[in-house]
Structures are given as structure tokens and as C-alpha cells.
């Protein structure tokens, strides 16, 4: 037997294999799948994993919920890799801010446009399953998520009443008119994502890499996402930086911090 | 084949550092009774190891004081508003931290009984557990239940944390009392705590730093105990199993995709595919590492193609030639139940064993466990949070491994419809059950159904006549048989009483035996119908479950006929003197007297023998059969003769 046969699966191999397993389950269980592509590092990894899971293809549409507020570099990236990866891209515009819940804090309202855009896309394309790249280590309410997470009629998340999920037996029950969120990256950490990007050489929007002492650690809309101080201009340096940092990943996202329950309110009403 | 990288991510000009290998975090679940301090312990562990992200402590302080509380460590994990408002954990969550030795992922689990499903969700992902027990209140209901569930989930490395030692004056005797009680309980489950650590989560004693207050304690702190845990054994050396998730086509190649749960495989390996046992030879392996892959091993998701044109389907298990999983129609399982509606004998479930799904019926409870003392509970139903040993019966063979041999192919989720309501580990095939022995490959009939039907001039089918004893099932069936036979039909009667003299003479009248009775009769009727006959089954079949079982075995050609007459009418007729005997207590479990009859809710035909005379009901039955089973003239066949 060769050494490859003996070799242990490393941590990234295990994460990859588990995510592929989840994606293939989603494909079996759900008929009209869509993948939400934020153009950020996590959803790029997701697309990469899909192409492995489905042997080089991406057999369902990829939706970018466009607020019109992405950085120019992000739009450039989107258009280039839509072509190179052969994606079936949906890029509908999200409803304007005036249509969001006025009692939410301002930064949270910008994010809430995405929830509305999501609801519109669900209605228009009749998705019964949405694959997204959220991770448990990003945020304390995301840490409570299931891998297969059933949504209510209005896309809402019943955080206090989630079904059991064990031994890779995922919930397949959905009420009519509702959809399932599928979270293949839930078990990954930010560092795992970067190490995987490094290993697989997955392309990224250049804004993640430091320029003039600043870089984006989490990429969102202009005006509600802010760069952090950093000199990490390569993947190796970013990994090095993350191994030593104590700043949380989403520190540069205003909607996480405007009120104690702002993010939970966003999420229970359908946000990622 | 990995998608080719079309653009390398921006890279430094400087020489690339050898990437440090990411180590898998060791997953630890924290379990125990509600309010015994699980979430507090985790919060404190993270804080004392300096693992909290910047700003987090200040945020916790703020939300605690907003609720008029001192610093509430549990809020680190209890992130939902409802959890903070009620002061309990509702759902499981995860948090990462690392020691000098290795990274960990800590899984918080709720202790409230109502959220047991969330505890199971959390604990199922762990390789070791910390069982938190309040020193003041001692071992409580969920301490025991969680310990039992850990053993079912295969989490057998258990550290016991005796918490809130501050409330007991840090006295050794308080710790000793809990230690004895927990150890005795775990011993009955075949487990032994690795360490029993006296600590105070709120004050950080014996979490990351040794307590000044408990000098009498010589063992490790919690943090030291975690670092002393040994990693779980790899699964690559066990027997190869790959359950098929899906079948993909690439050109004219078909590939079975799935995750290798145990063992390894290489090109050219001879395999067998359970449950049919069809042989195959591995032609290609693709785990996404690029062309020319030769091997794959436990934990990898793979796509495998075969030299032979094998019939592949989701739910099959690929196994090495000569090492197939076991096959059985009835399984003994140890199950935990999470649904609010209790499980009873006769309940129908879907057994989800890896990717296979089997419709099963609860045939009997061998034992329902009283979690308090591990004795047999005196109950006939399995309530929420309960644990029992059960026999589950399926109409089709189930491929499985005993969970002590191969845990992953020896366990299953239990679903009601599509809702997951419990889980089970497989102890083995049910004894005395009609297990399928060895690999079974069905042989096709040399005459197909259409050919039988063309010759007979009618379709095959099963008329399932249910009803009370004395309702007239046999009389109507025999009358119809004679008439149809005279008209040239191929028609026969399977009569319950007659069958109990031969095929079913080993069976009594308990629910389980009635189930087996129905299963056998349905299987026989199905064979006959497939061979073109009209089968009149005359069998009391008193419950909806029994009739549903028959329907599920027979399928399309099943017609449910209710031969209807009330108990009083039947008792008056009492052709065999059975009602009199039952009323005198000489016959136990007599349907209509001492055992229930559930009236069919949507039968295909009702023959009311109290209302109409026998010739009329016989005529009705014959008309129903002709209408449904005769081939019409348009097909070029005669109707009847
Ligand atoms: N005196 C004292 N109180 C403690 C200690 N540890 C936890 N507590 C308190 O016990 C209460 C319950 O603690 P939690 O951590 O929420 O308990 P839990 O086990 O996570 O509860 P559930 O998750 O709801 O099952 C809180 O008020 C804690 O402050 C301790 O060491 N000493
Ligand atoms: Mg808790």
C-alpha cells in the first residue's frame, strides 16, 4: 500500500468531505436549489465545494442579492468568475431602504434590504432550498444554527424551536410555501476558510489583502462595512494575523453592534 | 476531478512559509441537569484561558447589568433574547478555544428536559463529555438521562464536574457524595468517569487554575483534564462501508457517490452491494483530489464507478466482497424518543439508517427503561425523553451492522413521516424473526403479469375483507369465489381461521403476533396476485395499523373491504360460540369483546351485513371485483367469460 493510502485525513480534508456530503444531501432532498453568493470569501469557498461535489458542475443557480452598494472590485470579481466558473447567475436588485422596518437601527436597515431581496428572490424563483455560507464561529446566534434549517412562511427562523439534527440525519420536512436553508460551512472557522483558500488557490476579491495599512476582514456593502488596520497582504500573512488576533471577525460590521438584539432580529426575520 | 484553479490568489513575492497544518478541534459537549452551571462553566473556561474576543467581556457585563444581574457568564453562549430573559439555555451552541496542546470546540447543551432534542443534537457531535453536577442538589433527573444518552450516542469518555462547590463550603465530603452517586450510575451503563473534579464555575475554581479553597483535591483541573483526553480511534481500519447517497452520470459512466464511513478502498477491489449482494469491481475513484486517484478512506466523500453495469441506488451500502452487512426484516434496537406524542406498539416509523429509509412498525417493546434506576419501567408506551429496547419490523430487508461492530452503519434516526422524532442503535436482528439469511437476489418470474392477465381475462388483485368475527367475511368470500370461479376467473380465498391451522399455527393473538399474522398473509396474497389471481382475504385485521401494513406490502392491487356488522349482531349470530366463550372469559383478547376493533375510515368497499342479506352483499362484492379487475373489451380481452 502506498503512503497516500496510509496517510491520515487532515482537518481540511475532513471539513471538505463533510461539506460535500451536506451539499449532496441537499441535492437529493431539495428540488429547486439556489446558492447565495455574497462575493465574499466564504461563498467563494462554497462555490468551490459545489463544483467538487457535483463533479465539476454547478447544477443550480447562484444568486447575488444586489444592493447596488458593493465595491467596484466586487462587481468586477463577480462578472469575471461568473464566466470562468460557468455560473447561472441571478443578480436581481434588492428593494430600497424605505421598504425596511423603520424601527431597526440604520446600519441594520441597510442589511435588512438583503432580507427583502431574498424574500423577493424566493417568491420569483420558487426556491425550496437556499445554500448559504454562514459559520458558527462568526456570531453567537449563527452558532445556534442547524445544518438543514427549516424556515417559516415569511422566511423566518424559529430559533427557539429547531428540530433535532444528529448522525447526519437532516430535517427534510418543510411546510408548503417555505424553504430550507442549508449551511455546509457551519463547522468551519475563519482560519479554516483561509487555510482552505490557500490550499486550493481559490480566487478572492483583492480587498481582503492589505493596502496602505488597511484590509477588509469581512466584506459587505459600502457604508456599513469597514476595513481593519492590517499589513497582511498575502494569504500567509492573513493566516498569521488571524492566529494571533483577538478582534472578532465581524467587528467591522455595524449591524452586529447597534443593539443587543439587532442581529438576532435580522436573522429571525430571514437574514442569513 | 478538482475544478482547475483558474486564477491563483494574490501571493507574496517573498518565499512562501510552509503552511502550518490545521489541527482538528477536539469536540467536547457539556451536559447535565438544568441550572447546574454548564453555560457558566464554559463562559468561565473561555475567560480564564484568555480566549474571549476583544470587547466580549464588556458586552457581557453590559447586557448582564441591563438585566440587573452581576456578570452572567452564561450569556456568552445563551445569545438568544429568550434564553437571556428566561435564564436557561434553549438550544445547543458551539465555541472554539485552544490550549497549548490543541484546539477544542466546546458544545453547550441545554439541561431542561423539554429541550432534550437540542441536547442530543449537540452531544451527537462530541468525542468526549463533561457531565456537570450541582454539588448542592446532587445527581438529578437530567444528569441521569444525559448520561444514558451519552452512552447511546457513543460518547463514553466522560469527565464529571462537581460544580458550585462554593455553596458547600468547598467541603471534600460534598464532592465525595456526588462522586459516589455519579460513579455508581455510570457503572450501570458500563461507563466510568475519567475524572471527578470539584469546581466552582462562577468563581473559576479548578477550571483553569487550581483552587486555593480545595487543597484536599489532588486530581487535574478541568483544563488539565481536557488536555489529558486521548483522541478517538480512526475509522479507516474497520470493515469498508460506503452508503450510497446518490448516483451521478458522466457520459455513459454511472457513479455511486457517498461518504466512506469506515475502512478504505482501492481500484480493482471486489465489492458487494447490499442488500441485493450484487458483485462489482471498482473502476474509478474520485474524491476531488485530481485525476488518477487510486485510494480512498474513511471520512472522505467519494464518487466510485464500477466495471460491471451494477444497479446502483441511494440507500444501498457498498461493502467488501464476503463482508456484507447483516440483513434482517426485524431489528432489535435501543431507542431514545424525542417526540411529545408517545411511541406505542403498532406505531409506524421511518428508519433512517445512513442514507437508507425503511418503513417499519413497532412490533414490541422488549423493555422500557426507567432512567431513574435503570430498572424496567411499568408502562406500555415510550414518552418524550424515554429510552427503550424495541423490535422494529420492516416489509423489506434492512442492511445493518450491529452498532458494537460498526457504529455508523449500526445506528439510525427515527422519523414520523419526514419529522425526526428519535434515534436508535441496532443491537441485532430480532430473534425468531424471519430474518433474511445471507444475500438475497430476487429472481424474476418467467411469465410476466401482463401475460397472466391476458390469459385469465382479468387482473390480479387482493380484496382484503376485515371485520368482526361473525360479520360474514368467510361466507361472502366463499360465495363470491364460487360465482367468479364458475365464470372462469382465477380466484382463491385465504381464510384467517384456515391459515391459523397451518402457515400461522405458531402465532397467538398478541399485538405482535397479529402483526406477524397479517404480514405473512399479505406476503402470500401479494405473490398470488402477482401471478394473476384474484385473492379474497378473510381476516379480522382489527386495527388501522394492521391494514396499513397489508396495504404497504401488497401495494397497488390492494382493496380494503369492510364487512360491517355491529358487535351485538355478531354476538347474536355467534356461529362458532366464540362470543359466549369470550364473555365467560374463556378467550382472552377477543376482538369486539376484550380487544378493540378500529372501524376502517376509508375502505374501498363496505358490505353491511346487518343491513343487507348475504346474497346482496355477495353481489356487491362481485360487482366491485368485476368493475376493478376485469379487462375491458377495448383491450381486446373478454370481460369474464
Ligand atoms: N454559587 C454558584 N453559582 C453558580 C455556579 N455556576 C453557575 N452558577 C449559577 O447557576 C445558575 C445557572 O447557571 P447556567 O450556567 O445558566 O446553568 P446551565 O447548566 O447552563 O443551565 P441550562 O443550560 O439552562 O440547563 C446561574 O445563575 C449561575 O450563575 C457556581 O460555581 N457557584
Ligand atoms: Mg446553559
- A3 vs B278: CA distance, rounded Å: 31
Q: Which architecture characterizes domain B26-228 according to CATH? A: 3-Layer(aba) Sandwich (3.40)
Q: Note whether A121 and A63 are within 8 A (CB).
A: yes
- Helix (H), strand (E) at residue B25: none
Q: Which residue in B437, B330, B338, B438 sits closest to B390, CA to CA? A: B330
How much is the average pLDDT of A19-28?
Answer: 97
Q: Note whether B42 and B32 are within 8 A (CB).
A: no
List the beta strands (DSSP E) in B184-233. 195-198
The series of mean pLDDT values per 10 residues for chain B, 641 residues long, is 36 40 91 96 94 88 90 90 90 93 95 95 97 97 97 96 98 97 95 97 96 96 97 91 95 93 96 91 92 91 94 94 93 96 95 96 95 90 96 92 95 94 96 52 73 87 94 94 93 92 84 81 93 94 84 86 92 87 82 85 90 92 93 45 27
Q: Do domains B26-228 and B327-429 have the same CATH topology?
A: no
Q: Which residue in A16, A241, A196 sits closest to B21, CA to CA? A: A196
Residue of A29, A58, A167 to mutate when probing chain B, most B C-beta within 10 A: A167
Ligand nearest to the CA of B112: 1
- Helix (H), strand (E) at residue A104: none
- The minimum CA-CA distance between B74 and chain A, rounded to whole Å, is 12
DSSP-assigned states of every residue in A150-198? E--TTS---TTSPPP-BTTB------TT--EEE-TTTT--HHHHHHHHH
- B363 vs B513: CA distance, rounded Å: 9
pLDDT at B585: 80
Q: Is the dihedral angle over the CA atoms B50, B55, B57, B58 positive or is it negative?
A: positive
Which residues, including other chains, have CB under 8 Å from residue A240's CB and lie 6 or more apart?
A232, B17
Ligand nearest to the CA of B33: 1
Q: Which residue in B31, B6, B186 sits closest to B109, CA to CA? A: B31
Rg (CA), chain B: 31
Q: How many CB atoms lie within 10 A of CB B579?
A: 23
pLDDT at B12: 34
Nearest residue of B to residue A169 by CA position?
Answer: B413
Q: Which residue in A193, A215, A221 sits closest to A41, CA to CA? A: A193
Q: Which residue in B56, B120, B186 sits closest to B421, CA to CA? A: B120
Which residues of A fall within a CB distance of 8 Å from B8?
201, 203
DSSP-assigned states of every residue in B275-325? TTTEEEEEEEEESSS-S---EEETT-EEEEEESS-----TT-EEEETT-PP
- Distance of alpha carbon A123 from its chain centroid, rounded? 20
Tell whether the model's pLDDT for residue A173 goes beyond 50: yes
The C-alpha cell at A83 is 464566466
Query: Contact A163/B419, CB-based, under 8 Å?
Result: yes
Q: How far is CA B562 from CA B472, B475, B599, B610, in A?
A: 10, 14, 8, 12
Atom of ligand 1 nearest to the CA of B205: 31
- B163 vs B44: CA distance, rounded Å: 12
Facing residues of B196 across strands? B160
pLDDT at B233: 85
Q: How far is CA B128 from CA A138, B107, B154, B207, B422, in A?
A: 24, 10, 9, 17, 21
- B321 vs B5: CA distance, rounded Å: 38
Mean of the per-residue pLDDT values of chain A: 89
Which among A55, A199, A251 is the nearest to B250, CB-wise? A55
Q: Note whether A242 and A191 are within 8 A (CB).
A: yes
User: Which of left, alpha, beta for B470 (phi over 0: left; psi -120 to 50: alpha)?
Assistant: left
Tell whether the model's pLDDT for residue A178 goes beyond 50: yes
- B324 vs B501: CA distance, rounded Å: 37
Q: Is B102 exposed, middle or buried (0-12, 13-18, 19+ CB in 10 A)?
A: middle
Q: Which of B29, B35, B87, B167 is the best mutation target for the ligand 1 pocket, counting ligand atoms within 8 Å of the beta carbon and taking the most? A: B35
How much is the average pLDDT of A47-69?
Answer: 94
A113 lies within 8 A of chain B by CB:
no
Which of A 230-269 lie inside 8 A of B, CB atoms?
233-237, 239-240, 243, 246-248, 251, 260-261, 264
Helix (H, G, I), strand (E, B) or coil at A15: helix
Q: How far is CA B607 from CA A150, B551, B568, in A?
A: 46, 19, 17
pLDDT at A214: 93
Q: Which one is catalytic: B124, B541, B552, B602?
A: B541
For chain A, counts of helices (H) and of strands (E): 8, 8
Which among A17, A56, A203 is the nearest to B7, CB-wise? A203
The C-alpha cell at B324 is 456484507
Q: Which residue in A88, A114, A97 sits closest to A33, CA to CA? A: A88
Query: Contact B301/A261, CB-based, under 8 Å?
Result: no
DSSP designation for B9: P
Q: Is B443 exposed, middle or buried (0-12, 13-18, 19+ CB in 10 A)?
A: exposed
Where along chain B do its domains lie? 26-228, 242-320, 327-429, 449-635
Nearest residue of A to residue B53 by CA position?
Answer: A246
- A79-A85-A87-A91 Cα dihedral, nearest 10 degrees: -20
Q: Tell me which residue has cell 430480532.
A: B430
The C-alpha cell at A105 is 437601527
- B478 vs B456: CA distance, rounded Å: 20
DSSP-assigned states of every residue in B483-546? HHHHTT--EEEEEHHHHTTTTTTT--SSHHHHHHHHHHHHHHHHHHHHTT-EEEEE----SHHH
B474 carries an active-site annotation: no
Terminal-residue alpha carbon distance, chain A: 46
Tell whether the model's pLDDT for residue A144 goes beyond 70: yes
Query: Contact B121/A164, CB-based, under 8 Å?
Result: yes
Q: Domain B449-635: state its class.
A: alpha beta
Rg (CA), chain A: 18
- A171 vs B416: CA distance, rounded Å: 11
Helix (H, G, I), strand (E, B) or coil at B437: coil
CATH code assigned to A10-189+257-268? 3.40.50.620
Q: Is the dihedral angle over the CA atoms B468, B472, B474, B477 positive or is it negative?
A: negative
Q: Note whether B373 and B144 are within 8 A (CB).
A: no
Which among A1, A52, A84 is the nearest to B2, CB-wise? A52
Q: Which architecture characterizes domain B242-320 according to CATH? A: Beta Barrel (2.40)
Query: Contact A5/B118, CB-based, under 8 Å?
Result: no
Q: Which residue in B10, B16, B44 sits closest to B30, CA to CA? A: B44
pLDDT at B440: 56
> Per residue in A232-270, pLDDT tens?
999 999 999 998 888 888 777 766 667 778 788 878 877
In CATH terms, the superfamily for domain B327-429 is Translation factors (2.40.30.10)
Q: Tell me which residue has cell 376484550.
A: B594
For chain B, counts of helices (H) and of strands (E): 15, 26
State in Å: Cα A140 to ligand 1 middle: 19
B291-295 contact pairs (CB < 8 A, 24+): B291/B1, B294/A2, B294/A4, B294/A5, B294/B266, B294/B267, B295/A1, B295/A2, B295/A4, B295/A5, B295/B264, B295/B265, B295/B266, B295/B267
Q: How far is CA A50 from CA A46, A133, A173, in A?
A: 6, 12, 23
Amino acid at each position: 500500500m502506498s503512503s497516500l493510502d496510509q496517510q491520515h485525513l487532515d482537518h481540511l480534508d475532513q471539513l471538505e468531505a463533510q461539506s460535500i456530503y451536506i451539499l449532496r444531501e441537499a441535492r437529493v432532498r431539495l428540488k429547486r436549489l439556489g446558492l447565495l453568493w455574497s462575493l465574499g470569501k466564504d461563498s467563494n469557498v462554497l462555490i468551490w465545494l459545489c463544483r467538487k461535489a457535483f463533479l465539476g458542475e454547478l447544477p443550480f443557480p447562484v444568486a447575488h442579492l444586489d444592493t447596488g452598494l458593493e465595491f467596484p472590485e466586487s462587481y468586477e470579481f463577480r462578472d469575471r468568475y461568473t464566466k470562468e466558473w460557468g455560473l447561472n447567475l441571478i443578480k436581481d436588485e434588492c428593494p430600497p431602504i424605505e421598504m425596511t422596518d423603520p424601527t431597526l437601527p440604520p446600519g441594520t436597515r441597510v442589511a435588512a434590504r438583503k432580507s427583502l431581496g431574498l424574500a423577493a428572490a424566493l417568491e420569483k424563483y420558487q426556491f425550496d432550498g437556499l445554500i448559504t455560507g454562514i459559520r458558527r464561529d462568526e456570531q453567537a446566534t449563527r452558532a445556534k444554527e442547524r445544518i438543514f434549517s427549516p424556515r417559516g412562511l415569511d422566511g423566518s427562523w424559529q430559533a427557539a424551536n429547531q428540530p433535532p439534527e444528529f448522525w447526519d440525519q437532516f430535517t427534510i420536512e418543510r411546510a408548503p410555501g417555505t424553504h430550507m436553508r442549508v449551511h455546509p460551512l457551519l463547522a468551519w472557522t475563519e482560519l479554516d476558510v483561509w487555510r482552505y483558500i490557500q490550499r486550493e488557490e481559490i480566487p478572492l476579491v483583492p480587498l481582503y489583502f492589505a493596502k496602505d495599512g488597511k484590509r477588509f476582514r469581512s466584506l459587505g456593502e459600502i457604508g456599513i462595512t469597514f476595513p481593519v488596520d492590517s499589513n497582511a497582504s498575502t494569504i500567509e500573512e492573513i493566516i498569521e494575523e488571524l492566529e494571533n488576533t483577538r478582534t472578532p471577525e465581524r467587528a467591522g460590521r455595524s449591524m452586529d453592534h447597534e443593539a443587543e438584539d439587532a442581529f438576532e432580529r435580522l436573522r429571525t426575520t430571514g437574514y442569513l | 476531478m478538482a475544478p482547475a484553479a483558474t486564477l491563483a490568489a494574490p501571493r507574496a513575492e517573498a518565499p512562501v512559509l510552509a503552511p502550518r497544518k490545521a489541527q482538528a478541534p477536539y469536540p467536547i459537549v457539556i451536559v447535565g441537569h438544568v441550572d447546574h452551571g454548564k453555560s457558566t462553566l464554559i463562559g468561565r473556561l473561555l475567560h480564564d484561558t484568555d480566549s474571549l474576543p476583544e470587547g466580549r467581556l464588556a458586552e457581557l457585563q453590559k447586557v448582564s447589568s441591563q438585566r440587573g444581574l452581576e456578570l452572567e457568564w452564561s450569556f456568552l453562549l445563551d445569545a438568544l433574547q429568550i434564553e437571556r430573559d428566561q435564564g436557561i439555555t434553549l438550544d445547543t451552541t458551539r465555541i472554539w478555544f485552544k490550549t497549548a496542546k490543541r484546539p477544542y470546540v466546546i458544545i453547550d447543551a441545554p439541561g431542561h428536559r423539554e429541550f432534550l432534542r437540542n441536547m442530543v443534537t449537540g452531544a451527537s457531535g462530541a468525542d468526549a463529555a463533561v457531565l456537570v453536577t450541582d454539588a448542592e442538589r446532587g445527581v438529578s433527573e437530567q444528569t441521569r438521562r444525559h448520561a444514558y444518552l451519552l452512552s447511546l450516542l457513543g460518547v463514553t469518555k466522560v469527565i464529571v464536574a462537581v460544580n458550585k462547590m462554593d455553596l458547600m463550603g468547598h467541603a471534600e465530603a460534598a464532592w465525595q457524595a456526588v462522586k459516589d452517586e455519579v460513579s455508581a450510575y455510570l457503572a450501570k451503563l458500563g461507563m466510568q468517569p475519567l475524572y471527578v473534579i470539584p469546581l466552582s464555575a462562577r468563581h473559576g475554581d479548578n477550571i483553569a487554575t487550581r483552587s486555593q479553597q480545595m487543597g484536599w483535591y489532588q486530581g487535574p483541573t478541568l483544563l488539565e483534564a481536557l488536555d489529558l483526553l486521548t483522541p478517538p480511534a480512526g475509522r479507516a481500519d474497520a470493515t469498508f462501508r460506503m452508503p450510497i447517497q446518490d448516483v451521478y452520470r458522466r457520459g455513459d459512466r454511472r457513479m455511486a457517490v457517498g461518504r466512506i464511513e469506515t475502512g478504505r478502498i482501492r481500484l480493482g477491489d471486489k465489492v458487494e452491494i447490499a442488500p441485493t449482494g450484487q458483485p462489482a469491481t471498482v473502476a474509478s475513484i474520485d474524491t476531488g483530489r485530481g485525476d488518477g486517484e487510486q485510494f480512498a478512506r474513511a471520512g472522505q466523500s467519494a464518487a466510485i464507478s464500477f466495471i460491471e453495469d451494477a444497479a446502483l441506488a441511494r440507500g444501498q451500502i457498498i461493502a467488501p466482497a464476503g463482508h456484507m452487512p447483516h440483513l434482517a426484516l426485524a431489528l432489535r434496537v435501543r431507542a431514545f424518543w424525542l417526540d411529545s406524542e408517545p411511541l406505542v406498539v403498532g406505531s409506524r416509523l421511518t428508519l433512517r439508517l445512513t442514507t437508507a429509509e425503511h418503513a417499519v412498525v413497532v412490533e414490541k417493546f422488549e423493555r422500557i427503561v426507567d432512567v431513574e434506576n435503570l430498572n424496567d419501567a411499568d408502562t406500555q408506551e415510550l414518552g418524550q425523553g424515554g429510552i427503550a429496547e424495541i423490535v422494529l419490523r420492516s416489509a423489506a430487508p434492512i442492511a445493518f451492522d450491529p452498532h458494537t461492530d460498526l457504529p455508523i452503519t449500526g445506528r439510525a434516526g427515527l422519523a414520523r413521516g419526514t419529522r425526526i422524532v428519535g434515534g436508535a442503535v441496532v443491537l441485532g436482528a430480532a430473534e425468531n424473526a424471519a430474518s433474511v439469511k445471507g444475500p438475497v437476489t430476487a429472481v424474476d418470474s418467467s411469465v410476466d403479469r401482463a401475460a397472466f392477465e391476458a390469459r385469465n381475462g382479468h387482473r390480479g388483485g387482493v380484496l382484503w375483507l376485515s371485520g368482526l368475527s361473525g360479520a360474514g367475511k368467510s361466507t361472502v368470500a366463499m360465495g363470491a369465489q364460487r360465482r367468479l370461479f364458475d365464470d372462469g376467473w382465477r380466484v382463491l380465498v385465504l381464510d384467517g381461521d384456515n391459515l391459523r391451522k397451518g402457515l400461522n399455527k405458531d402465532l397467538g393473538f398478541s399485538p405482535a403476533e397479529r402483526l406477524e399474522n397479517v404480514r405473512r398473509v399479505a406476503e402470500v396474497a401479494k405473490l398470488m396476485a402477482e401471478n394473476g389471481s384474484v385473492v379474497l382475504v378473510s381476516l379480522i385485521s382489527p386495527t388501522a395499523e394492521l391494514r396499513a401494513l397489508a396495504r404497504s406490502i401488497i401495494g397497488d392491487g390492494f382493496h380494503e373491504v369492510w364487512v360491517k356488522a355491529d358487535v351485538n349482531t355478531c354476538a347474536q349470530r355467534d356461529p362458532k360460540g366464540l362470543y359466549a366463550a369470550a364473555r365467560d372469559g374463556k378467550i382472552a383478547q377477543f376482538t369486539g369483546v376484550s380487544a378493540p376493533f378500529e372501524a376502517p375510515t376509508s375502505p374501498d368497499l363496505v358490505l353491511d351485513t346487518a343491513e343487507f342479506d348475504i346474497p346482496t352483499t355477495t353481489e356487491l362484492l362481485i360487482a366491485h371485483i368485476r368493475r376493478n379487475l376485469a379487462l375491458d373489451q377495448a383491450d381486446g380481452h373478454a370481460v369474464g367469460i
